[in-house]
Amino acid sequence: MNWFPGFRPERKVVITHEDIDRAHDRARVNAARSRRTWFSQLRLLWLLVGPGILVMLGENDGPSMLSYAATGAKFGVGFFLPFIVLTFAMAIVVQEMTVRLGTVTQRGHAELIFERFGPFWGWFSMIDLGLGNFLTLITEFIAIRAGLGFFGVPPWAAVLCALALLYTALMTHRYWTWERITLAIAAFNLIFVPIALLSHPDWHAIRQALITWKPVPATDKDTLLILLADIGATVTPWMLFFQQSATVDKGMTKRDVTFGRADTVFGAALAATAAVATVIATTPLFIHHMSAENFQAAEFAQALQPLIGKFGAALFALGIVEAGMVACVTISISSAYAFGEVAARPHSLNLPVQQGKAFYAMVFLLAACAACIVLIPGLPLVYVVLVVNVIAVLAMPPALVFLFMLVNDRELMGDVVSPRWANALATGVVIFLTAAGVLFGVSVIAPNLFAAMGGK
Amino acid sequence: MAQESKMNNSVDLAEQQLVLSTLEPEQLAEAKKQRVPRRHLKGRELAILWFLRIYLLFMIAVVAYQAWTGAR
């Protein structure tokens, strides 16, 4: 690279354990790329997918699945089905930029913001990420606790299970192994598809909703809150930081951008399928006029039990546990990557413990703190779950502007700066998210003005 | 590759060659210690960043107010 002065290819370098592990992964990619058979191309795809699927399925986390469940229970099949698909399309536009940025610069997102725009803006960005990630982590443990609670597992045991899984996945000290273990767990997000089938969906209504976006719900505060929660269930700041850092840690280069895009689109398709399935699965609650106000995972499963059977309800509770577990892993690692990048400490899942003490300590410290908070008796956890997705939506426009500026920085990106159409789409996403946030603000602080705008 | 490498004792020759032949120079952990040069933000960019910062702080206060009234 020639964009950072002082880097000279001929200077002496130290080869680390991290480099060796990454080189082994890249050797397999190069071997697959050197052959031209369809099998080797499939193998290449298999080797290069990961960050995109993980980020999308990771974002189908505890609060997100509960938001989708609340959507189905409150509004049934209608406007929100195609709306959720649209939010995933927005996520593809945004996440594709992080793939390009990571492969070209070989730097994490936090590192680039700090070094390119200075510590003043860097710290703002870090505070947004740190606060958002920590609140979200708490909600993941709430989801795990509530989901396992359906099976009679006590809260302390549920939390310990989640921490043990996080520990097991990390202790491989190998990005590739960690990624495959987490992908295997994340695949269980599709458990919501059989649950939807068990709810005997009305396929005609689903088809009509996807085509016509109808029936449209009333414009009131509850609808806005669900709208914001569903957007926050799909596009959030941690996703930007995670996918860019994971792309770099995986060792992807400019030659892999096409596969990175395919990975992102495939991940979004899987996640959108699971999200839509969740709305369909809880639609029977809407049809039977069952109030799902302030429901958590166990309550949803219990309410669904008479409608989809004990097996279906158990699957629902397991799905919420899985959603919380995967997000717990990805979000805590996203925070640790950002911490390592900003503090200039080694930050890779290829690091042995001795070399990556600060990185691994950060992952466990965050997860353990969030887990402890969930165990405090009497805390109003339901409010944390409700506001966490809304906060994610509100924090997204500033994060997107940093991404937008970086991906259009010709000094960094050279000839792979964003094309005009991508910039137009990204600008549309920023305006849409900001407008949704402003509308929500108006509905809370000026309900009369909101009513004058056509709301209730 | 023309890179001259100072290797750790634990890294054998085959692994050194593998690293140097498969990774691009900027992918090496050592290369990532180089800082990215600072960029001067223009007036319009600063205005947008400040606007969004104020928007975020204000909206978080709105959410906190809503959560507080909801809790009551």
Interface touch A1/B71, C-beta < 8 Å = no
Residue of A12, A13, A390 to mutate when probing chain B, most B C-beta within 10 A: A13
How many structural domains is chain A composed of? Answer: 2
Q: Which residue of A has its CA nearest to B16?
A: A15
Peptide bond into B25 cis (omega under 30): no
Q: What is the CA radius of gyration of chain A?
A: 22
In chain A, which residues have their Cβ closer than 8 Å to the Cβ of B27? 19, 22, 106, 251, 253
Residue A242 placed within a domain: yes
Question: Do A29 and A78 sit in the same domain of this protein?
Answer: no
Distance from C-alpha of A284 to C-alpha of A242, rounded to nearest angstrom: 36
Give the single-character DSSP code of B32: G
Q: In this structure, are strands B5-6 and A13-14 parallel, antiparallel, or unpaired?
A: parallel
Cα A371 to chain centroid, rounded: 19
Q: Integer distance in angstroms from the first to the last C-alpha of chain B? A: 68
Residue B3 pLDDT level (bands cut at 50, 70, 90) = very low
Question: Would you write out chain A's pLDDT as a tens digit for each of its 456 residues?
Answer: 444 444 454 556 688 889 999 999 999 999 999 988 999 999 999 999 999 999 999 999 988 998 899 899 999 999 999 999 999 999 999 999 999 999 999 999 999 999 999 999 999 999 999 999 999 999 999 899 989 999 999 999 999 999 998 888 888 889 999 999 999 999 999 999 999 999 999 999 999 999 999 898 888 877 888 888 888 888 889 999 999 999 999 999 999 999 999 999 999 999 999 999 999 999 999 998 887 666 666 788 888 999 999 999 999 999 999 999 999 999 999 999 999 999 989 999 999 988 899 999 999 999 999 999 988 887 766 667 767 878 888 888 999 999 999 999 999 999 889 989 889 988 998 898 888 888 888 888 887 777 776 666
pLDDT at A331: 94
pLDDT at A456: 60
Interface touch B59/A437, C-beta < 8 Å = yes
Angle at CA of residue A217, ends A393 and B58, nearest 5°: 30
On average, the pLDDT of chain A sits at 89
Q: Determine the distance in angstroms separating the CA of A24 from the nearest CA of chain B, rounded to an integer.
A: 8
Q: What is the interface size between A and B, counted as CB pairs within 8 Å?
A: 155
Q: Determine the distance in angstroms separating the CA of A383 from the nearest CA of chain B, rounded to an integer.
A: 7
Q: Which residues contact B27 (CB under 8 A, 6 or more apart)?
A: A19, A22, A106, A251, A253
CATH of the domain at A370: 1.20.1740.10
Question: Do A167 and A33 sit in the same domain of this protein?
Answer: no
Question: Do A69 and A36 sit in the same domain of this protein?
Answer: no
Of residues A299 and B42, the one with the higher pLDDT is B42
Question: Do A20 and A113 sit in the same domain of this protein?
Answer: no
User: Could you identify the residue written with the tokens 């006590």?
Assistant: A154
User: Could you identify the residue written with the tokens 């964003």?
Assistant: A418
pLDDT reading at B8 higher than 50: yes
Q: Integer distance in angstroms from the first to the last C-alpha of chain A? A: 56
Give the single-character DSSP code of A351: S
pLDDT at A41: 92
Could you count the other beta carbons within 10 Å of the beta carbon of residue A386?
A: 22
Kindly list the distances between the CA atom of residue B32 and the CA atoms of A231, B16, B17, in Å, as whole numbers in the listed order: 34, 18, 20
pLDDT at B2: 42
Nearest-by-Cβ selection for B22 from A30, A116, A124: A30
> Is residue A46 within a helix (H) or strand (E), and if so which, with residue range?
helix A38-48
Angle at CA of residue A226, ends A431 and A300, nearest 5°: 150
> What ipTM did this prediction achieve?
0.85
In chain B, which residues have their Cβ closer than 8 Å to the Cβ of A13? 3, 5-6, 28, 30-31
pLDDT at A168: 87
Question: Do A248 and A306 sit in the same domain of this protein?
Answer: yes
Kindly list the distances between the CA atom of residue A394 and the CA atoms of A87, A207, A435, B33, in Å, as whole numbers in the listed order: 15, 32, 10, 33
Q: Determine the distance in angstroms separating the CA of B47 from the nearest CA of chain A, rounded to an integer.
A: 12
Q: Determine the distance in angstroms separating the CA of A7 from the nearest CA of chain B, rounded to an integer.
A: 7
In chain B, which residues have their Cβ closer than 8 Å to the Cβ of A14? 5-8, 29-30
> Is residue A296 within a helix (H) or strand (E), and if so which, with residue range?
none
Residue of A7, A17, A19 to mutate when probing chain B, most B C-beta within 10 A: A19
Residue of B7, B30, B40, B65 to mutate when probing chain A, most A C-beta within 10 A: B30
pLDDT at A234: 87
Distance from C-alpha of A386 to C-alpha of A456, rounded to nearest angstrom: 20
Residue A291 placed within a domain: yes
Kindly list the distances between the CA atom of residue A322 and the CA atoms of A40, A62, A146, in Å, as whole numbers in the listed order: 32, 8, 12
DSSP string, A89-153: HHHHHHHHHHHHHHHHH---HHHHHHHHH-HHHHHHHHHHHHHHHHHHHHHHHHHHHHHHHTTT-
A410 lies in which domain range?
Answer: 52-452
Question: Do A276 and A425 sit in the same domain of this protein?
Answer: yes
Q: Determine the distance in angstroms separating the CA of B12 from the nearest CA of chain A, rounded to an integer.
A: 10
Interface touch A13/B60, C-beta < 8 Å = no
pLDDT reading at B4 higher than 50: no
pLDDT at A445: 83
Interface touch A380/B71, C-beta < 8 Å = yes
Distance from C-alpha of A259 to C-alpha of B21, rounded to nearest angstrom: 22
Residue of B13, B57, B59 to mutate when probing chain A, most A C-beta within 10 A: B59
pLDDT at A227: 87
Q: Which residue of B has its CA nearest to A31?
A: B22
pLDDT at A1: 47
Question: Do A170 and A249 sit in the same domain of this protein?
Answer: yes
On average, the pLDDT of chain B sits at 82
Interface touch B58/A441, C-beta < 8 Å = yes
Q: Determine the distance in angstroms separating the CA of A10 from the nearest CA of chain B, rounded to an integer.
A: 5
**pLDDT one-digit tens code per residue, A30-65:** 999 998 899 999 999 999 999 999 999 999 998 899
| Phi, psi dihedrals of residue A240, rounded to the nearest 5° | -60, -50
Q: Determine the distance in angstroms separating the CA of B61 from the nearest CA of chain A, rounded to an integer.
A: 10
Question: Do A396 and A274 sit in the same domain of this protein?
Answer: yes
